[in-house]
Structure 1
């Protein structure tokens, strides 16, 4: 799992509940330019199926669970995302897919760049070609 980087976020809280603080350039590897979250996905629906040329993302499953499939062109790794204190870094040129969403899954994604369609590689064969150049 050399290309898979996990982040542990500190859980703060007391008898009233828990809190996790995520701060750009403090406990993230990049300044955050965009935040989005995925929710309401059926368990039999898969998402992702792309890589990015430049964009970095940090994904945290803040509720429920899902499976993240990461592929650097040589190695495929599956990671079960099921903790609001664990994040996974999706670096550039890593193909990623999300599967097996629980009904209550909320997957929060922090991105290093604003949305740019030209940064996406959506064809797996093209991804393999570019990553193995």
Structure 2
């Protein structure tokens, strides 16, 4: 497991208060609505886009924090719950609208669960995949917050 200096990465300052629900601009049309996310909309430039689908309702995703990466999660279809934790406080969000994104800054533990049938979770990430950016052990995450 990669070790890091929590002081260098300022993980201690990231709290639940930094998490935001974002209203995604929508063009409404009788033929179907169009959600728009383009450069300048998010507080970061996204470098990676991925999605979760066909997740069993009993499955658990996430279970990690990022050192540098920020993410926005969007329920494109169906619903799922996101539990976020800053090391001292926990909050739960139900994502079930494709025009609402959940902004998760660095240094926040996240867990995704209770996926409905057909749920699709879109993730916009501020960086490409780097395993060294992940904290996958909850106890190590808690230590990084002290």
TM-score, normalised via structure 2 length: 0.87
1:37 matched to which residue of 2? 51
Deviations, residues 39-62 of structure 1 (Å, cap 9, x unaligned):
000010010000000000011111
Secondary structure class of the residue paired with 1:125: helix
Please give the alpha-carbon distance, in whole angstroms, between the structure 2 residues aligned to 1:131 and 1:113: 22
Hey, which of these two has a bigger chunk of helix by percent? 2
User: Number of residue pairs matched?
Assistant: 131
1:13 aligned to 2:28? Answer: yes
Please give the alpha-carbon distance, in whole angstroms, between the structure 2 residues aligned to 1:15 and 1:94: 39
Q: 1:118 aligns with which of 132, 139, 142?
A: 132
8 Å CA contact 1:8–1:86 kept in 2: the answer is yes
1:52 matched to which residue of 2? 66
Report the CA distance between 1:3 and its aligned residue.
3.0
The CA RMSD over aligned residues, in Å, is 0.9
8 Å CA contact 1:70–1:96 kept in 2: the answer is yes
Please give the alpha-carbon distance, in whole angstroms, between the structure 2 residues aligned to 1:7 and 1:60: 10
Structure 1 stretches of 5 or more lacking a match? none
Please give the alpha-carbon distance, in whole angstroms, between the structure 1 residues aligned to 2:82 and 2:18: 14
Report the CA distance between 1:24 and its aligned residue.
2.4
TM-score, normalised via structure 1 length: 0.95
Report the CA distance between 1:13 and its aligned residue.
2.4
